[in-house]
A and B are shown apart, each in its own frame.
Chain A
Amino acid sequence: MQKEYKSITSIAGPLVLIEGVEGIKYEELVEIQMPHESQPRMGKVLEASEGFALVQMFESPQGAVTHGAKARFLGETMKIGVSPDMLGRVFNGSGKPIDGRPEIIPEKRLDISGAAINPYSRDFPNDFIQTGISTIDCLNTLVRGQKLPIFSGAGLPHNRIAAQIARQAKVNDGSEFAVVFAAMGVTFEEAQFFQSEFEKTGAIEKAVLFINTADDPVVERIAIPRLALTTAEYLAYEKEMHVLVVLTDLTNYAEALREVSAARKEVPGRRGYPGYLYTDLATIYERAGRIKGKKGSVTQIPILTMPEDDITHPIPDLTGYITEGQIVMSRELHRKGIYPPADVLPSLSRLKDKGIGDGKTREDHAGVMNQLYASYARGKDVRELAIILGEAALDDVDRAYMKFANAFEDRYIRQDEHEDRDIIKSLSIGWELLKMLPQAELKRIKPEHIEKYMKADA
């Protein structure tokens, strides 16, 4: 028999203080019934102390009152009902369908905070995923079970790239991905873009969408990635699917966390974000992976917009320390009209070496990748030098590098939004470009590969 308390003493933002309570648990769910409202509001216990509980409400405090409100503690932590029928459906931040169709009948109910995967039980991600985008496939290879974020900025086409990846991603064995998509605090248009994109291509049939738009409650924003990942883990480890999780936009998530932290009057860390931001983000990102003996996998592509394009801002910074690399968007390339505007040099995939090479992509992949990187870096330097000194001051080798850098941007990075380049195509464009440089400069590629592929492609 659950007790009801009428002792709500204060409401500050999403936080509610309830006094005189007994037998409450940390993180337990709470229903608060406001007078004259038909539905109770939901919240969870943030701090459980003797005699009082600090509760965080999931919904807006609009119209909440202290007098006459009743709180009921449910004795369980937040759960989501999952079932394979969730594919093709759209949900909100509290897990309720918003596509006008009936509620699903859950097969089981799972705790949304999940548990950490035992590192001993993990299987190492090493299956190459072909996204059809050269800058990712060849230079920053994505593998199954990886978490590879897109660091973008306001006004850059990260959504189109994410949609392109979701549309084109496939693995050598031909199996396709189920997509779990979570939108946090995005605008209606952005949410609509993804939804219609999925509907247009028919991908919606194997996608689960969780949508929290900018005018939805802030606190739901904190729950939504966890709802999405719990669903993804269920589909991956119990239904043997390969799941691609797209989360957008983590910046809004971190802002929501800061908002709640400030309301709790916690000691702030850098730029007012709570000191536990790293740990909190880790509980989201680390839920990507593969488990020994299970067929499915969870691959994550979180998207975040860097405030002022600043990669040292706490959100991209802490994300970079947790995720296995990052794809950085460049405003400069975007202005030049190059799509996808992937800034190759600061981008990185830490797991690339495990997913490439003989038997996975091609034996020369690593060499070509390193050479393209090094040469493009040098070419960009030369281009800057040429601005100061004039092109006439460059020697022949430098001039070759400059031409290479321009061609690299134009032919390698640039591709159409609907162009699905396979890895062999990406590599051979790479070889064509490398021919622009003197052969003695190709120090990162094994001589036998130069022999084999440079000539073969000639």
Chain B
Amino acid sequence: MSDKHQGIIIKVSGPLVVAKGMSHAKMYEVVHVSEQNLVGEVIELNGDTASIQVYEETAGIGPGEPVYSTGETLSVELAPGLLEGIYDGVQRPLALIEKASGAFIGRGIQVPSIDRERKWDFEPKVSAGDTVFEGDILGEVQETTLILHRVMVPVGISGKITAVHSGSKTVEEVIAVVEDSHGKKHDIVMLQRWPIRIPRKSKGKRVPDTPLQTGTRILDTLFPLAKGGAGCIPGPFGAGKTVTQQSVAKFCDAQVIVYVGCGERGNEMTDVLMEFPHLKDPNTGEPLMKRTVLIANTSNMPVAAREASVYTGITIAEYYRDMGYDVALMADSTSRWAEAMREMSGRLEEMPGEEGYPAYLGSRTASFYERAGAVKCLGNGDREGSLTVIGAVSPPGGDLSEPVTQNTLRVTKVFWGLDANLARRRHFPAINWLTSYTLYQGNVSTYWSREVADDFTKVRNDAAGLLQEEAKLEEIVRLVGMDALSSKERLILETAKSIREDFLFQNAFDPVDASTSLKKQYWMLKCILTIYYAGQEVVEQEDFDFNALKQLPSFLKVARVKDIPNEKWDEFEAFEKKLRSEILSLKK
């Protein structure tokens, strides 16, 4: 390594290293610390001393050792080969780390993020003489059976194509040459780099209007998230954040998934790793891994890399968005990211804000979630892509008033609030239907009436209304008992109970129940609500025997309505008719 740009360490304290002789360094530049080549990033400059956050364990490093500059800011490599990859927080493939240091992660391992040897079949979409601008598609590579990788003109380059090279290429071989207006020739290769802390460019955002279908009933029907939106899942431990996130990652209809395990359990990441190659994508039947990129920084991996991992993930996600795909990013959990920020801030002796978090927590959180969006992609054609961000938040003690949750709620439009009490009674997904909210319902209602059913919005609102009503009535029951209720109120309770137990309850581990199509959700809910719609007409009769209603054969079968297979809409319709007529037969 050149010793031209070299500093000297003067202090080591956990992941923070301070070095002098660093006047040449720039902010967020990547440096290599000591002869062991630990990866670090400059986060503060003060005269000729630089504070460096080191992405690896610093034990055994001491003052007097060298720091080498690289001149580059922390970037990710973007090229075919990202999908099916599993990376650490600074985009080093974990498989290669294993090869280099065995089952335990060693230090100072330098491995390429993208396989340099592998050849891809590049099929050009342009020819010599064409004029291209940044973001234009030069050609395509079949990256996996699911995803066609579109190779784009790098940002900042435009001009006339003077040569195109098709065929089998590695990511570093020239695939096209572009001559810009100054006559300068640029060799274009598939491998591109992008600094992780800067959002990738697009032509502009548009308002998201298509729902992200997750297959989880409470999410899709009651609290829909739009493609290009941002949502958060806060909840205490054991309430099911990770199960919900994983379930969305498995079944949602985004084309590319980036899953960031940020400061979470090692065994959970292993679970994803072992399960995804075997699970089939419900839309295409191909293994899920073919559309997934995993970033893993488990809770015992270096804390500074945790801070970088969410940015690494979102930059990769934006790259696929720019190709025109619908991308979903799950970050589990953003609290660990915020805590990593707090730890570094404490070591830098910055003035702390609320609960010791740095004062810039709010702005960092906001700018992270703002990278979500439905966009018009750069380049020719009318490509549109979207990036949906779903962040889990782990509030200490389940207390939502803490800073990370509050800052997140300010910028996300969907709130899926997990509830420890529901989890304790094994009601999963333990999402509280009273406190959760979505601001996208208006956006997606047109889609709903177009693609699902005209009265979907009404059915959804009625169901939500009944659940609200139930909460009030339960208070009364708790005080004065069931007998004080009118028949109509008992009907509301019965219907709401059925909504809870037969619709909202969903077993993520049952192969059939784990995911439900939007249309089936509509029909299930419609059948359940028939109890209420038809019941209203009979219960207000004098001396109405409520047990007669509860003993109706169809009423007893409502719980099994989820067993009617997808696509058999006529069976649902028949069931609904039968239930209605049986209830109405109680009319005197």
Contacts and interface: CB of A to CB of B under 8 A. Distances in A.
Interface of A: 22-28, 46-51, 77, 113-125, 145-146, 237, 266-270, 275-276, 278-279, 282-283, 285-287, 289, 291-292, 294, 311-314, 317-318, 320-322, 324-326, 345-346, 348, 350-351, 353-354, 366, 370, 373-374, 377-378, 385, 388-389, 393, 395, 440, 443-444
B105 A118 contact: yes
B523 to A, nearest CB: 20
Nearest to B550: A440
Contact of B106 (A23, A50, A77, A115): A115
A275 B356 contact: yes
Contacts of B479: 388
25 contacts: A25-B12, A25-B60, A47-B11, A48-B61, A114-B104, A115-B105, A117-B104, A118-B103, A119-B270, A119-B273, A120-B86, A120-B273, A121-B98, A146-B267, A266-B346, A270-B355, A275-B339, A275-B342, A279-B300, A282-B299, A286-B265, A286-B299, A351-B267, A373-B425, A389-B480
Contacts of A114: 104
B242 to A, nearest CB: 8
Which residue among A77, A237, A311 has the maximum number of chain B CB atoms within 10 Å of its CB? A311
Contacts of A314: 396
B266 A119 contact: yes
A353 B269 CA distance: 16
A393 B64 CA distance: 79
Contact of A120 (B98, B501, B502): B98
Interface string B85-127: 0100000001101100111111000000000000000000000
B496 to A, nearest CB: 15
Contacts of B501: 443
A5 to B, nearest CB: 14
Contacts of B236: 312, 317, 320
Given A374-B426, A377-B425, A123 B336 contact: no
A289 B266 CA distance: 8
Given A25-B61, A49-B10, A50-B10, A116 B105 contact: yes
Contact of B57 (A22, A50, A115): A115
A48 B17 CA distance: 10
Given A325-B238, A377-B425, A443-B501, A395 B482 contact: yes
B298 A119 contact: yes
A275 B396 contact: no
Which residue among A23, A322, A378 has the maximum number of chain B CB atoms within 10 Å of its CB? A322
B62 interface: yes
Contacts of B273: 119-120
Given A119-B94, A353-B509, A294 B103 contact: yes
Contact of B97 (A118, A145, A276, A320): A118
Interface string B264-292: 01110111011000000000000000000
B85 to A, nearest CB: 11
Given A122-B269, A345-B424, A388-B478, 14 more contacts: A22-B64, A25-B12, A27-B58, A46-B13, A114-B104, A237-B103, A267-B356, A270-B396, A278-B339, A287-B300, A321-B237, A322-B265, A373-B426, A444-B426
Contacts of B556: 440
A258 to B, nearest CB: 14
A389 B298 contact: no
A312 B266 contact: no
A124 B103 contact: no
Given A24-B63, A26-B60, A287-B300, A118 B267 contact: no
Interface residues of B, number: 73
Contacts of A118: 94, 97-98, 101, 103-105
B104 A25 contact: no
B300 A282 contact: yes
A351 B248 CA distance: 19
A267 B399 contact: no
Interface of B: 10-14, 57-64, 86, 94-95, 97-98, 101-106, 236-238, 261, 263, 265-267, 269-271, 273-274, 296, 298-301, 303, 336, 339, 342-343, 346, 352, 355-356, 394, 396-399, 420, 423-427, 478-483, 501-502, 509, 556, 559
A123 B270 CA distance: 7
Which residue among B60, B62, B398 has the maximum number of chain A CB atoms within 10 Å of its CB? B62
B298 A286 contact: yes
Contacts of A125: 267
Nearest to B480: A389
Nearest to B64: A23
A161 B322 CA distance: 56
Given A28-B62, A113-B59, A122 B346 contact: no
B426 A116 contact: no
Given A116-B104, A276-B303, A23 B339 contact: no
A317 B396 contact: yes
Nearest to A353: B509
A28 B60 contact: yes
Contacts of A311: 397
Nearest to B402: A270
A120 B95 contact: yes
Contacts of B13: 26, 46-49
Which residue among B58, B63, B106, B261 has the maximum number of chain A CB atoms within 10 Å of its CB? B63
Contacts of B298: 116, 119, 282, 286
A283 B236 CA distance: 21
Nearest to A311: B397
A278 B336 contact: yes
Contact of B62 (A48, A146, A276, A282): A48
Given A377-B424, A393-B482, A26 B58 contact: yes
A266 B481 CA distance: 55
A368 to B, nearest CB: 12
Contact of A283 (B271, B300, B342): B300
A266 B502 CA distance: 52
Contacts of B424: 345-346, 377
Nearest to A267: B346
Contacts of B267: 122, 124-125, 145-146, 289, 324, 351
A231 B294 CA distance: 32
Contacts of A294: 103
Contacts of B58: 26-27
B296 to A, nearest CB: 5
Contacts of B559: 443
B332 to A, nearest CB: 11
Contacts of A77: 59-60
A300 to B, nearest CB: 12
A117 B266 contact: yes
Which residue among A27, A118, A285, A322 has the maximum number of chain B CB atoms within 10 Å of its CB? A118
A13 to B, nearest CB: 18
A350 B274 CA distance: 16
B493 to A, nearest CB: 13
Given A26-B58, A120-B95, A377-B425, A385 B478 contact: yes
B62 A366 contact: no
Contacts of A237: 103
A312 B397 contact: yes
A409 to B, nearest CB: 16
Given A269-B356, A324-B267, A377-B424, A121 B103 contact: yes
Contacts of B481: 389, 393
Contacts of A47: 11-13
Contacts of B265: 286, 322, 324
B59 A26 contact: yes
Contacts of A346: 238, 420, 424
Nearest to B349: A267
A50 B12 CA distance: 9
Which residue among A113, A115, A370 has the maximum number of chain B CB atoms within 10 Å of its CB? A115
A276 to B, nearest CB: 5
Given A279-B343, A292-B103, A120 B94 contact: yes
Contacts of B356: 267-269, 275
